[in-house]
């Protein structure tokens, strides 16, 4: 895809905070909106927000965190709830809970259970880790992704500031026989302080160190204001990626303003 094509219809990620419903008033009609799962609050807030988004005509995509699901009965109830809401896509992750709530310790376990139960989902996404995972060895990550490939339709990369790491992830996936389309995950127009704080918390410290070593990006991250992914997007060979996923951290309006500006520049 060209940069213009990547910008045309990105996925926008929301967090299911108590005021999240106020954040999607300005979303484009029919936009794809993914909703994360908070480990301390469980799946309920995610499903509630997804139902509201779906009812408004958005393409709503819940994060189903394996470690938040107790058992097959709860999984069946969740899948039924999504079916009744007309939701046909989900993003399956292990989740950040330190101790699993039940019998699903990771993404592959949940995907296998979903397959056994049957469901009405027509698209399933899974995460990819261009810079690895702080608590999972690289070989285990790749083995899990190979197993997920049987059930999944695409990969979204974890937030990353290093274009070389993103390109390298796609190349290594292809070398290992993983053919899933890869959507590149980038932060939207997000408050720089929020991005630094949350980036370290979710395990992208190496990427932040890379970013802080580059004068232009470091200047943006270390001064008050908003980070914008223009430079990083421009460094990507967009032909390697099948789409764009924007982590908004619920800063939707500035992200949409940036998106409109970026589209105008790409079209010029």
Report the largest interatomic distance among the alpha carbons of the chain, rounded to a whole angstrom: 53
Q: Which helix (H) or strand (E) holds 259?
A: helix 252-267
In DSSP terms, which residues pair with 184 in a beta bridge?
Answer: 244
β pairing state of 190-191 and 226-227: antiparallel
Q: Which residues pair with 109 in a beta bridge?
A: none
124: exposed, middle or buried (Cβ count in 10 Å: 0-12, 13-18, 19+): buried
Rg (CA), the chain: 18
Q: Per residue of the chain (268 residues), what is the pLDDT tens digit?
A: 889 999 999 999 998 988 888 888 789 999 999 999 987 788 999 999 999 999 999 999 999 999 999 999 999 999 999 999 999 999 999 987 888 889 999 999 999 999 999 999 999 999 999 988 877 899 999 999 999 999 999 999 998 888 999 999 999 999 999 999 999 999 999 887 777 666 544 433 333 443 444 444 444 554 556 788 998 898 987 789 999 999 998 999 999 999 999 999 999 8
Phi and psi torsions of 246, nearest 5°: -105, 120
Supply the range of the domain harboring residue 200: 3-267
Burial (CB < 10 A; 0-12, 13-18, 19+), residue 240, is middle
Q: Scan for tokens 């330190």, then name that residue.
A: 98
- Could you count the other beta carbons within 10 Å of the beta carbon of residue 86? 12
Residue 89: CATH number of its domain: 3.20.20.220
Q: Going by DSSP bridges, is the β-strand pair 32-35/59-65 parallel, antiparallel, or unpaired?
A: parallel
**What is the total count of domains within the chain?**
1
Nearest Cα neighbor of 60 from 26, 84, 27, 88 is: 88
Q: Where are the alpha helices (DSSP H) in 134-226?
A: 138-148, 163-175, 192-201, 205-212, 215-222
């Amino acid at each position: 895809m060209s940069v213009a094509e990547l910008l045309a219809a990105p996925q926008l990620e929301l967090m299911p905070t108590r005021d999240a419903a106020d954040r999607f008033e300005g979303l484009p009609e029919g936009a794809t909106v993914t909703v994360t799962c908070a480990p301390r609050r469980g799946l309920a807030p995610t499903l509630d927000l997804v139902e509201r988004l779906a009812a408004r005509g958005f393409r709503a995509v819940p994060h189903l965190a394996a470690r938040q699901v107790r058992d097959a009965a709860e999984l069946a109830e969740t899948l039924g709830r999504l079916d009744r809401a007309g939701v046909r896509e989900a993003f399956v992750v292990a989740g950040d809970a330190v101790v699993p709530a039940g019998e699903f310790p990771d993404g592959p376990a949940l995907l296998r259970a979903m397959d056994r139960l049957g469901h009405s989902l027509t698209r399933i996404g899974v995460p990819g880790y261009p810079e690895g995972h702080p608590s999972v060895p690289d070989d285990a990550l790749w083995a899990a992704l190979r197993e997920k490939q049987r059930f999944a339709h695409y990969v979204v990369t974890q937030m990353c500031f290093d274009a070389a790491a993103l390109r390298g992830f796609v190349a290594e996936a292809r070398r290992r026989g993983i053919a899933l389309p890869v959507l590149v995950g980038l932060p939207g127009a997000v408050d720089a302080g929020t991005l630094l704080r949350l980036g370290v918390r979710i395990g992208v410290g190496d990427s932040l160190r890379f970013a802080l070593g580059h004068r232009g990006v470091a200047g943006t991250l270390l001064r008050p204001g908003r980070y914008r992914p223009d430079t990083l997007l421009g460094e990507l060979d967009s032909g390697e990626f099948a789409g764009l996923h924007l982590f908004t951290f619920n800063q939707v309006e500035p992200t949409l303003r940036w998106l409109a500006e970026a589209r105008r520049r790409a079209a010029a």
